[in-house]
Amino acid sequence: MSDYLHIQNIHKDFSGLKVLTGVDFKVREKERHAVIGPNGAGKTTLFNIISGKFKPSSGAILLRGEDISGKPADVLNRHGLSRSFQITNVFQELSVFDNILTGVRSRHGLRYHFFRKPAMNRVLTEKTEAILEKVGLADVKDQPASSLSYGQQRALEIGITLSTEPELILLDEPTAGMTREETEHAIKMIDQVTAGLTLIIIEHDMDVVFSLADTISVLHYGTILVCDAPDKIRCDQRVKDAYLGEG
Amino acid sequence: MSEFLVFFLHGLAYAGLLFLVSAGLTLVFGMMNVLNFAHAAMYMLGAYFSYTIVMQLTGQFWMSLMICPVILFVIGAVVERFLLRRVHRYGHVQELLLTFGLAYIITELVKWYWGNYPLAINVTGFLNGTVSIFGIIYPMYRIFIFVCAILVGGVMALVLYKTRLGIILRAAVNDSEMTNTLGVNVPLVFMGVFAFGAALSGFAGVIAGPLLSTFPGMAQEILLDAFVVIVVGGFGSLGGAILASLIIGELQSFGVLLFPKLSMALVYLLMAAVLIIKPSGLFGEES
Amino acid sequence: MKQKSISLITIVVLFAVAAVMPAVLKQYHLNMLTEIIIFALYAVSYNLLLGYAGLLSFGHASFFGLAAFATAVSIINIPGLSIWNVILISVAVTTLAGFALGGLLLRHKGAYFALLTLAFNSILFAIATKWHSVTGGDDGLSITRPDLSLGFTTIPLASLTNFYYLTLVVLGLAIIFCWYFTKTAMGQTVLLMRENEDRMKFLGYNTNISRLILFTFSGAVAGLAGIFYTFHFQFVSISAISGDMSTTVLLIAFVGGTKKFWGPILGAFVYIILQNYLSDVTDRWPLVMGMIFVLMVLFVPGGLSDVITNLWHKFFGKKDDKDGKLTTAEEVRP
C-alpha cells in the first residue's frame, strides 16, 4: 500500500540560511500526525512548503503518489488540502458567516462568477451553517470577526480551514495563546471536526499533541529526529536531549 | 566615424542627466519604499530657480549650482516632515497619491509664476566652450554633465558602502524598528534621505536647464525616462540605475540617428522586453 | 430584504429625476449633465480598481481613450455602421487591450504597478500623437453621431435630448451593473483579496486571474464611457488618451471618495460643475483642484462621500443611519 502523503527529503534555504535539511516522513490516510520541535526548528517553514506558500529548494511532496511540491496554494487547496495559521488570519471586517462562506463558495466553484451572489444559494448557506455549528460559532454568525474573543477567533480560524471541505488539514498551533480551559475545549472541537480526515498539526503544547496525535515527528535543526507513536516518543532519549539541550 | 562618436557622446551626456535624476528617485524608493512622483517636479523647480538666479539675478551659473540644491533640500525636508510622514500610516497608495498631487501643484505653480512657455538658460565662460576629442569639436557643457554624473554616482557609492552613515542607511532599510532601538533616529534618517533626493533632483534640474529648454512639460518628459531607467535597472538599485541610464541614454541618442521616427518607441520596447523577460529589472532582486 | 428594496427605490427615484431633466434644464446644463454621466461611469470603473481591489492606476485613460478613438475611427472608416456595432467594436477593442495590458502589468504590485500603468498610457498617447493618418494626431477626429436604430424605428441622435436619454439609459444601466458586480461572487472575491490575499489563495482562489478579470472588466467599462465621450463631443482628440485624462479620473474618484460605491459618481458631479464654473472665474482652476486633492489626501482620505456619511451619522444617529439610503447597500466594505 502506498502512503497517502510522503514528505520526501525536503530542503529549504533562504538566501544561504539552511532552514530545512532533508525532512522526510510519511503520513497514512486518516492519520493524525503531529510535528513537534523546539522553536526555530523549521516547523512553520515546513507547513508553508507543504501548503504551497514556498517552493522547496529540493525534495518532493507526494500526495497519493503525485508530486505536489511547488504547486501554488490555490491549486493545492482545490486538491483537498487546507491549512490554518498560527497567527489568526481571518477576514476581520467580514461577518463570521461570510468568513466561512468565502471558503464554502470556493469549494463549490463560485469563485469568479460575474452574476451570481454567493449569499443567495441555499446549498452554500446550509453548508456554512453546518460548519458554524461544528466549531461552535452559530450564535455569533452575524457579528464581524473583529468583535470575537480570542478563543472564538481561533475557532473561526479552524472553521475557515474546514470550509473548503478538505481531506488533508494542516493546523499550525491551533491552541497558541489559549488558556488551559480554552485549550481543552479546542482539543475536543478539533478532535470532532477532523474525524475521518487526515490531520497534520504543529503544536507546542504537549498535552494537545499527546491527546490528539497517532504519530509524532520530531523536527530538530531542520531534519526529522524521530517519527514514532506517542508512547515511544515520550521515552525517546534523543527527543529528551533535543528539548533539554534547547531549554 | 566622427558622426558615430558625436552621437555616442550625446548619449553619454543624456545618460549622465538621466542618472542624476533617477539616482535620487531610486535612492528614495530603495530606502523609504516611496515612489516619489514629485521627484521630476522638484527637478523642474531646480531648473526654474536656476533660471531666476542665472538669468534674472546674478548671471552666475556656478552660484545656482550651489544654491538650488540647498533650496530643494529644504523643500524636500519640509515635504517629508509635514506631509509625507503624515500619510505614511495610511499606506502606499496614499503616499503615491500625495506625491502625485504635489507634482500636479508644483507644475501648476510653475506655469503661473514663470509662464507656460520655454525659457533659455545660458552658461558663460569655461562651460560655454568646446573641447577637441579625437579630432571633433565637442561642447564642453555636455562633457561637464557626464563628469558630474560620475562624481555624484561615485560619492553616493562611497557613502553607501564605505561609511558608517551608509551602514546606518542600509540597516534602516532592512529593519527600521531594529535600527530605531539601536539608537538611530530613523525618522530623521528618512527625512534626510528624502531631502537629499530632492536636492539631487534640484541639482539635476540646474544641470538640465542649459542643455534642454526649461518649460512646464520638462518634468513629465524626464519623469518617464527616469521611470524607464529604474524599471530597466531594477527598483532601488544604484548599480542598475547607472547601467540603465547608459543604455537608455545611448539608445535615445542612436535611435534618433538610426530610426528617427521610432527613437522613443525603442526605449519603451526595451522596457517591455525587460518586463517580460526579467520583470524585476536587470539588477533587481527576485521577490 | 429591506436593504434591497431601499436600493431599488433609490435607483428608481434617481432615474425618474434624471428623466425629467430635459424639461427642466437649459441646453447648456443638459450638456453638462450628459458629461457628468459619462465621467461618472468612467470614475466608477476606475474605482473598481482603486477602491475595491486597491490597485492604483495612473493609466486608466488608456482604455477610455482607446475606445474613444475606436469609436471615431470605426464611424469614419466603415460607412453605415450602426451605433450598436460601433459600441460593440469599441468595447471589444478595449476588452482585448485590457486583457493584454493586464497580463503584462499585473505581475507587479503597488508603486511598480502604478508606474507601469503610467508608462503604458504614455506609450499609447505617443502612438496616438504620431499615427496621424488614423488618429488625426494633434488635429483630432470629427464625427457625426450615428442615429439610433431600434429595428422598428430610428431615433435621430442629433438632438441633445435624445442623446441624453440614450446616455442615461445605457450608462445608467452600466453603473447599476457595476454596483451589482460588487455584490457578486467575483466582486466579493476581489474585495476580500485586498483585505487578505494570502488567505484567499489558501482557500482555493487564483488571485492573479481574479485581478486580471477585474482589470479587463474595469477597462471595458471605462471604454464604454470613452465611446459616449466621443459621441457626446462628436470629436475626439489625443487629450482623450492623455495622462491628464488619467489624472482626471483619479481626482474625480478620490475627491468623491473611493470607499463608497457612489463616491466617484458624486465626484463626477463636483468635478464637472467645478470645472465649468471655476474655469470661468479663474484660469488657475487646475491649481485649485490640485490643492483640494492634496488637502483631501492629507485630511480626508475617505473623500466627500465619507464626509457626508459622517455628517449623516452625526445628525441622524447610527440607528437611523441603518435605514438611510446613503450608507446601506452602497457600502464598499461588506
Q: How far apart are CA A102 and CA A121, in angstroms?
A: 13
HEC assignment per residue over chain C? CHHHHHHHHHHHHHHHHHHHHHHHCCHHHHHHHHHHHHHHHHHHHHHHHHHHCCCCCCCCHHHHHHHHHHHHHHHHHCCCCCHHHHHHHHHHHHHHHHHHHHHHHCCCCHHHHHHHHHHHHHHHHHHHHHCHHHHCHHHCEECCCCCEECCCCEECCCCHHHHHHHHHHHHHHHHHHHHHHCCCHHHHHHHHHHHHHHHHHHCCCCHHHHHHHHHHHHHHHHHHHHHHHHHHHCEECHHHHCHHHHHHHHHHHHHHCCCECCHHHHHHHHHHHHHHHHHHHCCCHHHHHHHHHHHHHHHCCCHHHHHHHHHHHHHHHHHHHCCCCCCCCCECCC
C187-231 pLDDT tens trace: 999 999 988 888 999 999 999 999 999 999 999 999 999 999 999
Q: A67 at the C interface (CB within 8 A)?
A: no
Secondary structure (3-state) at B285:
coil
Q: CB of C258 within 8 A of CB of C303?
A: yes
Closest residue in chain A to residue C184, using alpha carbons only: A117
Q: Which residues contact C225 (CB under 8 A, 6 or more apart)?
A: C38, C39, C41, C42, C45, C64, C67, C171
Q: Scan for cell 548619449, then name that residue.
A: B11
Closest residue in chain C to residue A104, using alpha carbons only: C203
Which of A185-189, B2-6, C201-205 is least confident?
A: B2-6
Between residues 196 and 235 of chain C, which touch chain A (CB distance below 8 Å)? 196, 198-207, 209-210, 213, 217
Q: How far apart are CA C47 and CA B60, in angstroms?
A: 50
Q: How many CB atoms lie within 10 A of CB A138?
A: 14
Residue B230 in this model has a pLDDT that exceeds 70? yes
A216-225 pLDDT tens trace: 998 888 888 8
* Nearest chain B Cα distance for residue C48, angstroms: 15
**For helices B2-32 and B238-258, what crossing angle results, to 10°?**
150
Residue C333 in this model has a pLDDT that exceeds 50? no
Architecture per CATH, domain A1-80+166-187+199-247, reads as 3-Layer(aba) Sandwich (3.40)
Residue type, A209: V
Residue B182 in this model has a pLDDT that exceeds 80? no
Grid cell locating B13: 551626456
Q: How many CB atoms lie within 10 A of CB C331?
A: 14
Q: C323 at the A interface (CB within 8 A)?
A: no
Residue C148 in this model has a pLDDT that exceeds 50? yes
Closest in B35, B87, B228 to C298, CB measured: B87
Closest residue in chain C to residue A77, using alpha carbons only: C204
Closest in C181, C186, C202 to A83, CB measured: C202
Nearest-5° Cα angle at B144, B142 to B149: 100
Subunit contact A94:C199, Cβ cutoff 8 A:
no
Subunit contact A111:C185, Cβ cutoff 8 A:
yes
Distances (CA, A) of B185 to B159, B178, B179, B192: 18, 11, 8, 11
Choose among B242, B240, B233, B192: nearest CA to B20. Answer: B242
Subunit contact A112:C196, Cβ cutoff 8 A:
no
Closest residue in chain C to residue A80, using alpha carbons only: C204
B touches which chains (3+ CB pairs under 8 A)?
A: C
Q: How far apart are CA C169 and CA C149, in angstroms?
A: 15
pLDDT of residue B175: 65
**Overall average pLDDT of the B89-118 stretch:** 89
DSSP string, A191-228: HHHTTTSEEEEE-S-HHHHHHH-SEEEEEETTEEEEEE
* Nearest chain B Cα distance for residue C277, angstroms: 19
* Residues in B touching C290 (Cβ below 8 Å): 101, 104-105, 108
Q: How far apart are CA C113 and CA B96, in angstroms?
A: 11
* Nearest chain C Cα distance for residue A116, angstroms: 5
**Which pLDDT band, with edges at 50, 70 and 90, does B136 fall under?**
confident
Return the domain boundaries, chain B: 2-277
Q: CB of B77 within 8 A of CB of B191?
A: yes
* Residues in A touching C184 (Cβ below 8 Å): 113-118
Closest residue in chain C to residue A51, using alpha carbons only: C202
Radius of gyration of chain B (CA): 19
Choose among B203, B101, B209, B106: nearest CA to B156. Answer: B203
* Residues in B touching C123 (Cβ below 8 Å): 265, 268
Most confident of B29-38, B156-165, B200-209: B200-209
Specify the CATH number for C2-321; select among 3.40.47, 3.30.70, 1.10.3470, 3.40.1000.
1.10.3470
Q: How far apart are CA C168 and CA C163, in angstroms?
A: 8
Q: Which residues contact C140 (CB under 8 A, 6 or more apart)?
A: C235, C236, C237, C238
Q: Return the H-helix or E-strand segment holding A34.
A: strand A32-36
* Residues in C touching B90 (Cβ below 8 Å): 301
* Nearest chain A Cα distance for residue C330, angstroms: 15
Q: How many CB atoms lie within 10 A of CB A35?
A: 29
C220-275 pLDDT tens trace: 999 999 999 999 999 999 999 998 899 999 999 999 999 999 999 999 999 999 88
Residue C329 in this model has a pLDDT that exceeds 50? no
**Which pLDDT band, with edges at 50, 70 and 90, does B189 fall under?**
confident
Radius of gyration of chain C (CA): 20
* Nearest chain C Cα distance for residue B203, angstroms: 24
Q: How far apart are CA B86 and CA B80, in angstroms?
A: 9
**Overall average pLDDT of the C29-51 stretch:** 95
* Residues in B touching C122 (Cβ below 8 Å): 224, 268
Closest residue in chain C to residue A163, using alpha carbons only: C203
**Overall average pLDDT of the A1-6 stretch:** 76
Within B188-247, strands assigned E span none
Choose among C213, C208, C217, C207: nearest CA to C178. Answer: C217
Q: B101 at the C interface (CB within 8 A)?
A: yes
A touches which chains (3+ CB pairs under 8 A)?
A: C
Subunit contact A93:C204, Cβ cutoff 8 A:
no
As beta bridge partners, residue C260 has C331
Phi, psi at C172, each rounded to 5°? -60, -45
Q: How many CB atoms lie within 10 A of CB C282?
A: 10
Residue A61 in this model has a pLDDT that exceeds 50? yes
Q: How many CB atoms lie within 10 A of CB A122?
A: 7
Between residues 174 and 233 of chain B, which touch chain C (CB distance below 8 Å)? 220, 224, 227-228, 231
Residue C334 in this model has a pLDDT that exceeds 50? no
Subunit contact C209:A160, Cβ cutoff 8 A:
no
Grid cell locating A91: 477576514
Choose among B31, B38, B28: nearest CA to B97. Answer: B38
Mean pLDDT of chain C: 88
Subunit contact C108:B279, Cβ cutoff 8 A:
yes
Q: How far apart are CA B76 and CA A172, in angstroms?
A: 46
Residue C68 in this model has a pLDDT that exceeds 90? yes
Distances (CA, A) of A46 to A19, A63, A72: 9, 15, 15
C touches which chains (3+ CB pairs under 8 A)?
A: A, B
Secondary structure (3-state) at A11:
strand
pLDDT of residue A73: 92
Distances (CA, A) of A211 to A43, A174, A189, A208: 20, 14, 12, 5
* Nearest chain B Cα distance for residue C30, angstroms: 30
Strand A32-36 to A215-220 pairing: parallel
Q: How far apart are CA C250 and CA C256, in angstroms?
A: 10
Question: What is the reported pTM?
Answer: 0.86
Distances (CA, A) of C92 to A145, B135, C264: 41, 58, 25
Subunit contact C123:B268, Cβ cutoff 8 A:
yes
Q: How far apart are CA B138 and CA B12, in angstroms?
A: 13
pLDDT of residue C39: 97
* Residues in C touching A98 (Cβ below 8 Å): 334
Residue of C1, C200, C203, C214 to mutate when probing chain A, most A C-beta within 10 A? C203
C105-123 pLDDT tens trace: 898 888 888 888 988 898 8
Q: How far apart are CA A111 and CA A102, in angstroms?
A: 9
Choice between A15 and C17, residue whose per-residue pLDDT is larger: C17
Residue type, B145: I
Choice between A120 and A133, residue whose per-residue pLDDT is larger: A133
Q: How far apart are CA A152 and CA A186, in angstroms?
A: 10
Radius of gyration of chain A (CA): 18
Q: Return the H-helix or E-strand segment holding A113.
A: none
Structure ipTM over 0.90, yes or no: no
B–C interface: beta-carbon pairs under 8 A: 85
Burial class of C177 by CB neighbour count within 10 A (0 to 12, 13 to 18, 19+)? middle
**Overall average pLDDT of the B60-78 stretch:** 93
Closest residue in chain C to residue B280, using alpha carbons only: C108
pLDDT of residue C330: 38
**Which pLDDT band, with edges at 50, 70 and 90, does C319 fall under?**
very low
Which of A23-37, A195-209, B67-81, B122-136 is least confident?
A: B122-136
Q: How far apart are CA A197 and CA A213, in angstroms?
A: 13
**Overall average pLDDT of the C30-42 stretch:** 96
* Nearest chain A Cα distance for residue C301, angstroms: 19
Q: How many CB atoms lie within 10 A of CB A136?
A: 17
Q: A212 at the C interface (CB within 8 A)?
A: no
Subunit contact C196:A51, Cβ cutoff 8 A:
no
**Which pLDDT band, with edges at 50, 70 and 90, does C2 fall under?**
low
**For helices C83-105 and C207-233, what crossing angle results, to 10°?**
140
CATH 1.10.10 fits domain B2-277: no
Closest in C183, C198, C204 to A164, CB measured: C204
Q: How far apart are CA B232 and CA B235, in angstroms?
A: 8
Subunit contact C294:B279, Cβ cutoff 8 A:
no
Q: A159 at the C interface (CB within 8 A)?
A: no
**Overall average pLDDT of the A186-199 stretch:** 90
* Residues in C touching B220 (Cβ below 8 Å): 243
Phi/psi zone of residue A186: left (φ > 0), alpha (ψ -120 to 50 degrees), beta?
A: alpha
* Nearest chain A Cα distance for residue C276, angstroms: 37
As beta bridge partners, residue A202 has A35, A172
Q: How far apart are CA B65 and CA A87, in angstroms?
A: 54
Closest residue in chain C to residue B84, using alpha carbons only: C298
* Residues in C touching A95 (Cβ below 8 Å): 334
**Overall average pLDDT of the C71-91 stretch:** 93
